[in-house]
Each structure stands twice: as structure tokens, then as C-alpha cells.
Structure 1
Amino acid sequence: MAPLLAASGSIIRKSARSLSFSLACAAAFMVVLAVASRCHLPQTSEAPQPLADFGWETLLFGVLATVARLFGATLLALVMAFLIAVTAVKTQFAQGILRSFVNVLRETPVLGFLPFLKFLGTEISVVGLTAAALVWNMSHALMKALENVPTDLEEAARGLGLTSWQRLWRLEAPFAIPALVAALAASMPTAWMALIAAEMLSIAGSAPVTPGVGAYAAVAALHNNVVALVGLAVIMALIVAVYDLALMRPWQSWSMRYRLDSGSDVSDPWMLSIWRRSQSVKWLGEKIRRGLAWIGGMPFGARRPRLLRKSFFFVPYSVGSAISVGICMAALLAFVGHQELRLIDLAVVTELGLLTAYRVLLVVLFSCLIWLPIGVWLGLRSETAQRFQPLMRLLALYPVNIVFPLAGCAAWHDSRLFASLWPEILIFLGAQWAVLAHILKGMRAFPDDLLQAARNMNVSGMLWWRRVLLPGLAPHILTGFMASSTVAWNIAILAEMVTWYGDAFFAPGLGQYIAQKMWSGDLPHIALGIAALCLYMVMMKRLLWQPLYGQIERRFNSPALRSRD
């Protein structure tokens, strides 16, 4: 009993210290928002082009512009993730700080950065917002991979006399490629959503002026053109499918060559075979390979063994609590001391945040109720799941916010319908796929011998669900809950306020508060809303999801949870 109590106390102290440090980082982020909110948005006098002026040539240019923005944001996110992860892993003091900030920014709605990025220009703000949707998950995955390089590979690198710089480029970076590409693929749905939203959203009353599929969809909604909006939604599906087929799947298959297990036995997709036969791609790949080999061969750094580092910067609980309280008070004073904010605004965002939190939890639970039996059915029939996999992948990647104006069209005919029904439907459309993806992942990892033993003992019905399936799927279901809630918080900004034909329709919630302030260009209230949304997301993770993880781990001794950060 004593060891059990000691272990429980250690878990509680560790959770409390992690919570205090996360709150400190979240509060520091709020201070930055409060300071940035004292600036003023740049005004634009550009007017939207009428939809009739968008011919096929203009539409094709917009499609190419959207694809180019996503590709550029992907490259930018790769560079930023590499710099952040290497700095965190190689610098002992910055490790815990950067990790905590990355964890907080992973739980921050990326759309909240858009008004502040507008200071850098319209095009930079769109690309920067899309990169922000990718970089934090990629940084997190890259940090974990760089810290978990096998010891035998480290010893081989020391035996070859590699310097720290050569070890980074020849050992650690290639070892981290599979995790980095997997994080990129997992973040791609959020990136598509952020890109389309950045092209569609109106900041401070400015109409969309950059060419792109999202901008054309916003103009179609402005001109009450349902046919054009539906056509753009279909074109968007084709763009997502082609981009995934031509780039993401080849990247994922190519990254498997760097795995240490037997995952490289999977056959290459036909598009990767085409790329490999292309002479221009071969020439470009050889140039990149030689350039990286030259960079990685530079004899920089020491040849001594890398010192073992703690995975988290240690802060005593009392010190962490004092820092958290101090920074939270600084954040509160930064907002309260703002000349355009009042104490009543804090009460408003608190109340609206509770409404959105209720809406998010309702959508997550409903998604589980719908997709748990379907996911289990598909998981037990691997051939059927394989046939449906391309469709499910496309639906998960598709940015559903491009069709959100159709809810505004419905509300334009009956405004009472929107406030009572549509916000939950719109959030569900975007958040449901994370739950299904993790249920299917859990079914693939479920032991076949356990299912066979249950069949041999004629275990069926509710007993099969309670005693066999749910204990094994519980970690993956909770992981799906967490991923789905993060997506739902992001989509709430788009779902709780929609526009059609120049009219805006609202549903009460924190997302509606932020979207309405974006519409009017009110930076102080935007910063307050984003800070509240970030705090709600951090508290939901630390006070709801992580305790559930710990409970499941202690009850079922799940290795899937022990492997999570």
C-alpha cells in the first residue's frame, strides 16, 4: 500500500507542477497578446471584385495561389520546427521553457493570430497563419524524436568520431524524419482549414482581396451565389485530393525508409514511382542531397559524448506556483489596465467561454457516440476499412469551413434555426474525424488473440464491449477526444458566426465573440477573447483529459498512455 500511495503522490505532484508551468506559459502568452492589442490594424481601401469577373483563368490562378501558399507554409513550418526543436534539445535551460510554450501554442486557436499577422501584409499573414497550424505539432514531434535516438546509434556515431554538428545531420535528423512527416500529415487538416479561413475572413471590415479559393467563396457568399459556392466546394475537394496524392502520400512513403522497424516493407504509391522516374526530380534530389551532405560534413562542434539531459526543466512546485500566480496577475493587470477594456469584459468572456466549452464537449461526446460503433465495425473488417480509407482520408483533410456560408444562407431564410442548431452541426463536421481516426488506430493495434479468445468463450453483447473492447480502446478514445476538442475549439471561431449576403448571424459563445471583434477590427477584445480561449483549452486538457489519462493508465496499465507526452 505504501508504494502505491507514494506513486500516487508523485503523480499528483508531477501533474501539479506541470499545470503550474503550463499556466505560467499561457499567462505569459496572454501578456504578449495584451501588449500587441495596443496596436492598431492597418486600414485598406481595396474593394472586393464582383463574382462575375471571376472567369476560368482567374479561378485557375486562384487555385494555384492557394496551393502555392500551402506549399510555402509547409516549407516555412519545416524550417521553424527544426530550429525550435534543435534549440530545445541542445540547450538544457531552454528545453523545458520551449516545450511548455510549444504545448501551450499547440492548444491555442491558430485563427487568433490572423489579426496580428495582418501588420505584416495580407499575403504574409495568410502564409504565416497556415505555417502556425503546422509548426507546433511538428516541433513537438521533432523534439521527442531527437531526444529518443537509440543508444546503440549514439555509440556508433561516437565510434566514428562524429562531431555534434555531424551527429545532428547524419544521425539525429534522419532518425527524426518519420516522426516529422507523420506530424505534418496529422496537422494537414488544420492547415487546410486555417488557409481557407485566412483567405475568407474579413478583418476590420476589409473584403478578401487576395486571389484564392477561400476568397472566391467569401465573395460568392457576399453576392448570394449558392451555385458558385457549391462549385468552389467541389473544386476544393479536387485540390485536396490531388495535393494529398501528389505530395503528402509520397512524402509519407519516402519517410518510411528511415524507420528502424519493418515498416519499409509497404509498397510505394504509384505517384512516388513517377517522381522517382522523373529526370528533373532526380536532378533536383541529387542537388539537395549533395548540399545537405556538404552541410552535414562540416566539422563543427565537439566530439565528446552528448550529456544526458532531463526531458523537462525542473521547477519546484512552490516556485512554479509562485511564478504562475505572478504571471497570471501580470496578465490580468495587462488586460484590466487597458484603456479600451473593462472588468465587465472579463465576465463576458468567462460566461461565453463556458457556453463554447459546453458546445465542444457535446460535439465530442456525440462524435464518439456516432463513430465508436462504426469504427469498431470497420476495424473488425480490415478489407472493408481498406476500401473506405481513401474516402475517409479525403473527408478528414477537407476544409469544411468553405461550406459554412451555406449555414448563413439557411439562417438568412430563418435566423432562429442558426442559433438553435447550426453551430453544433458545423463544429461536428470538422471535429468528428479525429475521433474516428483514433478509434481505427486503436482497432489496428488491438490484440487479435484477445478477440479470438473472446470468440472462443462466446463473449458477446454488452459484456464483450465492457470487458474486452472498451478497456483496450479507452486510451485511443481519450486521445481522439483530446484531438477532437482541439479542432472543435478552433472551428468554434468560424462556426459561431457566419455571413451571407452581407448579413452576419451569431450564436452565443466565445468563438462568436472573437469573430465579431475580428469583423470590427477591435484588437483589444480580440486579444482578450483569444487569451480566454487559450486558457479554457489549457485548463480542459490539464484538469479533464490528463486526469482521465492517468486514471486509465493506472486501471488498465496501458502502454499506449505511457508513451504519450
Structure 2
Amino acid sequence: MLSFRTQHTLARRSGRFSWVDLVVASAVLVLLYTALRVGQGTTVSFTPDRTTLVDTDPSQLPYDAARSLLRMFVALAAAVVFTFGYAYAAARSRRLERVLIPALDILQSVPVLGFLTIAVTGFIALFPGSMFGLECAAVFAIFTSQAWNMTFGFYQSLTSLPRELDELSRSFGFTRWMRFWKVELPAGAIGLVWNGMMSFGGGWFFLVASEMISVGSQEYALPGVGSYAGAAIADGDLGKVGWAILTMAVMVIGVNFLFWRPLTAWTERFKNEQSGAGEVQRSLVLDFLRRSNWPRLIGRWLRPVGLACSRAGRVFGVDDRPLVVDRARRRTGDLVFAVVAGGLILWGLVSLGRYLDAGTGLGVFGEPLLLGLATLARVLVLIVAATVIWVPVGVWIGFSPKLTRIAQPVIQVLASFPANFLFPLAVWFFLRTGLSIDIGGILLMALGAQWYILFNTIAGAMAIPADLREAMDDLGVRGWQRWKRLIIPGVFPSYVTGGITASGGAWNASIVSEVVTFGATTLTATGLGAYIAHATADADFPRLLAGVAVMSLYVVALNRLVWRRLHRLAETRYSL
């Protein structure tokens, strides 16, 4: 008698559908139906002058969780599309790189509240009379907390692609689309998934700020776990805060099990190694999907789309750009590009200066520049501490698939935990111990920044080929020599990406970490984050613009002086 596995294999080969296919199809239909039902709430009528109230009945939490999840995944899809386009343009165009990468430094330094202030007004005007405008503003805010980290990570993988693969793709006559799909995307798949996981956690971290929007005297609230928790914190209701924490934990663990765990196990196929690893990551969901006929059928249905993309790529020609170009022509092009880009930047700075000079005067920059030094000190302490603690832990986790399976959901919960949810505990702890929030704020900032270093280190360690590790074992290389010869060079490019995004994330997290409120108690630290938070609450746009501009200046200067030099070192010396 044939075993179940043999019967199932024969069924797949014969093209017959089994109960596994029925379960998968039913799950997809239920998911689509739920998304459509939940999405109906995004198009109800809405007027900007209407006061929105948050229903904090615990029975409302399942619906709130579904609304939050829908926003998170829509923002993630937009972030992936943005990552592919932006990172590819920056990595493949030397001239665009000179503008796009500094611009990315600035974008990641702009606080979520800074984006929200502009986005709310714009989207409400774009969709008058509908809640959809406010939903778009919330999705955009979550997008801004996800996209920059993913873009930096994919850009790093594109720029550190081995030269041999570049020459091989040229010799095979690959189009640009084929080169991207067959070479570049697989090379960056592991880092992209882990950075996507971290970015998703960043979206959770700013969920309260994205769903409870306060601009001046006007407050907007959307149904969601973040707004539920924000309302419970404002009321000082610890019981309802506990329900929000429990719901958040269930959501994070569920998303990890159903979405991120299958993706991380699937990307094992993209490891760059000659010998297979002794132990690989596994996922029950991925194993179940592989037993279904649907992936094979969908791949067959989408094959014409891939062929159309390949043919469209040939319109632009084979990727046969010369490795050596005429220097005079390059200098001329660089000069024209520099004049145009410099003119646009100068025009923007002059416009900003005129606006501020007409409002409060250029002296408005003095206070945020001084306050930025206090926040800078906290950021530096956080980065050094996170490096010392989390790089060894990340390497340990990345080298062990079994440990990765255990640690991944735990890390996801910790990384996804909004700092606002801990405000009741933080206020109690600071008041009980007498610890100043000027120091304790570093701990709250760490909740939103340290995980970038850990996740990128894990991705870097996982990408180190197993055959290199086996060679080190055969040669008896242990201890510091192993770290010096293998581990540090192997994880260094990923660590730099994590450091860049952790630095920007720490500045962004200062907005919610330097002003801590629970009930009637508010603790305020001295720093640029508190300055921007107060300017946003007061709808003081000149001070808000000055604070955001100063924060961007600090982030760009830190990236130019430290992180970009390390990134260049990773490209030239430490790429596998």
C-alpha cells in the first residue's frame, strides 16, 4: 500500500488537486474576503472638523487588529516597490547616486510626525469627505517608517555584488530585467527579507503615532490597535493597555508564523555557497504550501508576464554598458548634472530661508542646534551599546538555524513593541527610582533603533557561505582569529547597513522617547525630539520645519563622516 507522501507526490505529478489545494484555496479566499470587509471601513464619510472618538471596548480589538494589519501590509507593499526602484537607480547610476543617497539620509531623518503633519492636510484635500484620505495619511506614515531601511539594505547588496557575476551576466547577454531578476534580486534576497521584517517592526513601533494624529488643536483617530492603546494610555487605564499589549503580541507572533517564517525559510535557497548547510531553516506553512499544486499553477500562469518583461527589457538593449567610458564625456555630463541638481537644492534652501525669515527669523535654528547635541549624545551611546551587545548575539543566532527558529518570533515581538505601550511602566520606573528621563530616554530610544543592528547582523551571518565556515573549522581557526578572518568581514556590510538605519531610527525614535506621558503625568527630556514633538502639538510650523531641518543636518553629517566611509570600505574590501 502506498504511503500518504507517495500518494501526494503522484497526485502532484498527475496534476490532480488534493485536500491540501482545497485548504490553501479556502484560506486565500477567506483572507481576501476579510480584507474586503475590513477595507469597507476606509471609505466611510469624514469631515476634517469632526472630533473622532476611539472605542476602547475590548470586544472592538479584533476589528482594530484587522484594520492595523491591513495598513501595515499595504505600506509594506508600497515600501517594496519603492525599494526596488530607488535602490536600483542609486546603485546603477553614478550621477543619481550622488543625489539619491544623501536624499535618503535626509528622508530617514525626517520624523514620522514631520511627514504626518504634511500628509494629513494633503491627503484630506485629495479625498474630501472620505475617511480614505486619513487612511492614506496613516499608510504613508507607516511607509516612511519601513521604506528607508529596506532601501539602504538592497542598495548595499547591489553595490557589493561580486564583479564576476556582473561579467558573467554580460557574457550571457542578459537584459537589464533578466539581470535584476536572475542575479541581483537573488543576491539580496536574504538581506531584503530580514530588513523587511525589521521594517515591519518599525511600522509597529510608530503605530500609535500613525493612527492617533494630533496637529495643533485638531486630533484625528483611526480604528486600530495603536489608537486603542493611545486612548487607553491617555485615560490611564492599565487594564485596557494590557489588552492592547496582548493583542499586539498575538498579531506579531501570528504574522511571524504565517508570513515571515515562510519567507526566511524560502530564502535559504539563495545562499551563496558550494556545499549545502547541515541544517536549514524550516517552516510548517512553507512545507504545507510546497505540497500544494497552486504555486506551480500560478508560476505557469505568470510565465507570460516574465517573458513579456524579458522582451520589454530587450527594447533597452542587452546590459552591455562599457566598463570604461570616455572621461571627457563623463566630466561634461557630471558638470551638467551638478549644475542642475545644485540649482534645485539652492532654490529649495532659499525658499525655506525666506519662509522662516518671514515667520520667526533665521534665529529659530539656534535652539534646535543646541538641543540636537543632547540627542546626538544619546544616539552615540545607543549605537555603541547596541553594537557591543547585539553583534555577537546576531552572529550566534545567524549561525544556528535551530536557534533562529526559536529566537525569530521573540525578537519580532521585542522589535515590534511600540515604546508608547511601555509608557505606564516607564513613568512608574523613572518616578520610583529617580532616574532622569534624560538618561532613561536612551532605553526608550533603544526599543526603536537597536533591532536594526541585530536583524542586519543576523542576515549577514546567515549569508556567510557554509563552505567558508567549514574551511575555518578544518583549519582549526578559533576565537579572535575566526572573528577577524571570517565573521567580521562576513557581517560587516550588513552591520553598516544596520548602523545607518539604526542611527536614523534612533533620531526618529527620540520624538516619542523624549516626551513620556501617562494619564496626567508628563516627563520631558532635553533634546531635539522633545522640541519637534512640542512644535507638532502646537502646530508651530516654522519651529517644526527648523527642528526637522536640524535633525536632517545631524543625520546627514553623521552618515557622511562615519557611515558612508564604512560603507565604502565594505564595498571595496569586505564583499563576499
Alignment check: 8 A CA contact 2:452 2:501 kept: yes
2:168 aligns to what?
152
Q: Mean Cα displacement is larger for which, 241-250 or 106-115? A: 106-115
Match of 1:45 among 40, 44, 50: 50
Q: Could you say which residue in structure 2 is the equivalent of 1:38?
A: none
Give the deviation of 1:455 after TM superposition.
Answer: 8.1
Q: Secondary structure at the match of 1:150?
A: helix
Higher mean displacement: 407-416 or 82-91: 407-416
SS of residue in 2 equivalent to 1:521: coil
Deviation at 1:225, TM superposition (A): 0.9
Q: What amino acid is the match of 1:48?
A: L
CA distance in 2, matches of 1:560, 1:337: 43
1:234 and 2:246 equivalent? yes
Q: 2:443 aligns with which of 403, 425, 433?
A: 425
Question: What corresponds to 1:71 in structure 2?
Answer: 73
Question: In the aligned structure 2, how far is the partner of 1:60 from the partner of 1:73?
Answer: 20
Distance in 1, matches of 2:470 and 2:190, equals 29
- Correspondence 1:543 to 2:551: no
Match of 2:119 among 92, 117, 130: 117
Residues 118 and 125 of structure 1 are in contact (CA less than 8 Å); yes or no, is this contact kept in structure 2? yes
Q: Mean alpha-carbon deviation: is it higher for 220-229 or for 141-150?
A: 141-150
8 Å contact from structure 1 (residues 199, 212) kept in 2: yes
Contact between 2:386 and 2:453, CA under 8 Å: does it hold in 1?
Answer: yes
Higher mean C-alpha displacement, 418-427 vs 512-521: 418-427
User: What secondary structure does 1:202 align onto?
Assistant: strand
Indicate if the aligned counterparts of 2:102 and 2:556 stay in contact, CA closer than 8 A: no
Separation in 1 of the partners of 2:207 and 2:418?
12
- Displacement of 1:214: 0.6
Question: Matches of 1:507 and 1:116 in 2, distance apart?
Answer: 26
CA separation of 1:92 and 1:432: change in aligned 2, threshold 3 A? closer
Answer yes or no: is 1:403 the counterpart of 2:412: no
> Which residue number in structure 1 is paired with residue 25 of structure 2?
none
Query: After superposition, what is the alpha-carbon deviation per residue over 1:107-159, rounded to whole angstroms, capped at 9, x for unaligned?
Result: 5444531211112132111111222333344445555666755322332236x
Q: Which residue of 1 aligns with 2:180?
A: 172
Q: Distance in 2 between the 1:431 and 1:537 partners?
A: 14
Identity %: 22
1:274 counterpart (288, 294, 299): 288
The question of 1:531 aligning with 2:549 is answered yes
Once superposed, what is the RMSD of the aligned Cα atoms?
Answer: 4.3
Secondary structure in 1 aligned to 2:173?
helix
The corresponding residue for 1:20 is none
After TM superposition, the score normalised by the length of structure 1 is 0.73
For 1:157 and 1:242, how far apart are their aligned partners in 2?
44
Question: Which of 340, 365, 371 in structure 2 is aligned with 1:352?
Answer: 371
Corresponding letter in the other structure for 2:210: A
Over residues 26-77 of structure 1, what are the superposed CA-to-partner deviations in whole Å (9 max), with x where a residue is unaligned? xxxxxxxxxxxxxxxx9543232352xx242x21111111111111112222
**AA aligned opposite 2:249:** A
SS of the residue corresponding to residue 321 of structure 2 reads coil
2:237: which partner in 1? Answer: 225
| Alignment pair present for 1:301 and 2:330 | no
> What does the per-residue CA deviation read over 1:244-286, in whole Å, with 9 as the maximum and x for residues that have no partner?
2212232344345466645987465221122334566665555
Q: Secondary structure at the match of 2:544?
A: helix
Hey, what does 2:38 align to over in structure 1?
none
Q: Once the two structures are superposed, what CA deviation does each residue of 1:387-421 show, in whole Å capped at 9, x if it has no partner?
A: 75335532454233242432565389679655344
| Contact 1:213–1:236 (CA under 8 A) maintained in structure 2 | yes
Please report how far the alpha carbon of residue 449 of structure 1 lies from its aligned counterpart in structure 2 after TM superposition: 6.9
Q: How far apart in 2 are the matches of 1:507 and 1:500?
A: 15
Q: Map of 1:90-239 to 2, 5 A cutoff?
A: 94=96, 96-119=98-121, 120=123, 121-142=133-154, 148=161, 150-157=166-173, 167-178=175-186, 179=188, 182-186=191-195, 187-239=199-251
Which digits, 9 at most, give the CA deviation of each residue in 1:509-544, with x for residues without a partner?
A: 111111112222223322221121111011112223
Q: Which moved more, 1:510-519 or 1:183-192?
A: 183-192
What letter matches 2:558 in structure 1?
A: M
Equivalent residue for 2:44? Answer: none
Q: Which residue of the partner structure matches residue 83 of structure 1?
A: 85
Distance 1:474 1:279 in 2: 42
Number of corresponding residues: 496
Call closer, same or farther: CA 1:144–1:483 in 2, change over 3 Å. closer
- Corresponding letter in the other structure for 2:172: A
**Counterpart amino acid of residue 64 in structure 2:** G
- The CA distance in 1 between the partners of 2:477 and 2:318, in whole Å, is 56
The SS at the match of 2:202 is helix
Query: Is the CA contact (8 Å cut-off) linking 1:353 and 1:509 kept in structure 2?
Result: yes
Are the structure 2 counterparts of residues 48 and 206 from structure 1 closer, same or farther at C-alpha, using a change threshold of 3 Å?
A: farther
Check the 8 A contact 1:104/1:538 in 2, yes or no. yes
- Conserved in 1, the CA contact under 8 Å of 2:58 and 2:243? no
Quick one: structure 1 residues 305 and 285, their matched pair in 2 at CA, closer, same or farther if it must change by over 3 Å?
closer
Select between 467-476 and 62-71 the one with higher mean Cα deviation: 467-476
1:488 corresponds to? 506
Superposed displacement of residue 221, structure 1: 0.6
Q: Counterpart of 1:254? A: 266
Could you tell me the TM-score, scaled by structure 2's length? 0.71
How many Å separate the matches in 2 of 1:380 and 1:79?
Answer: 27
Q: What's the CA shift for 1:507? A: 1.0
- Give the CA deviation at 1:345: 1.8
Rounded to whole Å, the distance in 2 between the matches of 1:267 and 1:380 is: 11
- Superposition deviation, residue 93 in structure 1: 5.2
Contact kept in structure 2, 1:181 and 1:251, CA below 8 Å: no
What SS does the aligned partner of 1:177 have? helix
| Closer, same or farther: CA 140–217 of 1 in aligned 2, 3 Å | same
- Per the alignment, residue 523 of structure 2 pairs with 505
Tell me, yes or no, if the aligned pair for 1:498 and 1:505 is still in contact at 8 Å.
yes
- The whole-number CA distance in structure 1 between the counterparts of 2:436 and 2:458 is 33
Q: Give the superposition deviation at 1:175.
A: 2.7
